[in-house]
Amino acid sequence: MKPFFLSAALMMSAAAAAQACPDYRLGGDVDYGFTGDILLREREYSVQIGTDYSLVGCGHQYPGYVSAAPTTSFRLARMDHYPLEIRVEAPCDSVLLVNAANGDWYYNDDGPYGHNPQINLRGSATLNGRVDIWVGSYDGQSCFGDLILETER
């Protein structure tokens, strides 16, 4: 009897741990639809920097803490000729985790402006479709910041 209960407990704890990791299937709080033309004008969103779950504890090679659900999700279209810049401006050391439309993952913790992360994406397969974004904290500190999206010609 004991081995059965032990293996059942281990399976339940593994399932609970998996639920605590970033999961694009949970969808973001807000689902916006944009095209490359619309994003030529910078879009800024106030966000709470997530600190719930360790990325390393979830099997990612990146440090930082994010929520299980994306901070926000975007449906992008007609992005073929537009590179997309995603960045955060925040008073705490923040991280960005992105699941692109093609399923690839991208991460950054320190962009060109200090502790504020920045990710630049290109290509129709990467950008045309749903893009999920997690804004997290490098060290578990909580703060509010701005998520900024912008394209260029």
153 residues of the chain, pLDDT tens digit each: 434 333 333 333 344 444 478 888 887 666 789 999 999 999 999 999 977 899 999 888 899 999 999 999 999 999 999 999 999 999 999 999 999 999 999 999 998 878 899 999 999 999 999 999 999 999 999 999 999 999 987
Confidence (pTM)? 0.84
Instruction: Tell me how far the alpha carbon of residue 62 is from its chain's centroid.
Output: 12
What is residue 29's predicted lDDT score, i.e. its pLDDT?
60
Round to whole Å and give the CA distance between 112 and 97. 16
Q: Does domain 22-151 have CATH number 1.20.1250.20?
A: no
Q: How many CB atoms lie within 10 A of CB 120?
A: 13
- Nearby residues of 43 by Cβ (< 8 Å), 6 or more positions away: 32, 34, 148, 149, 150
What is residue 17's predicted lDDT score, i.e. its pLDDT?
42
DSSP 8-state code for residue 67: -
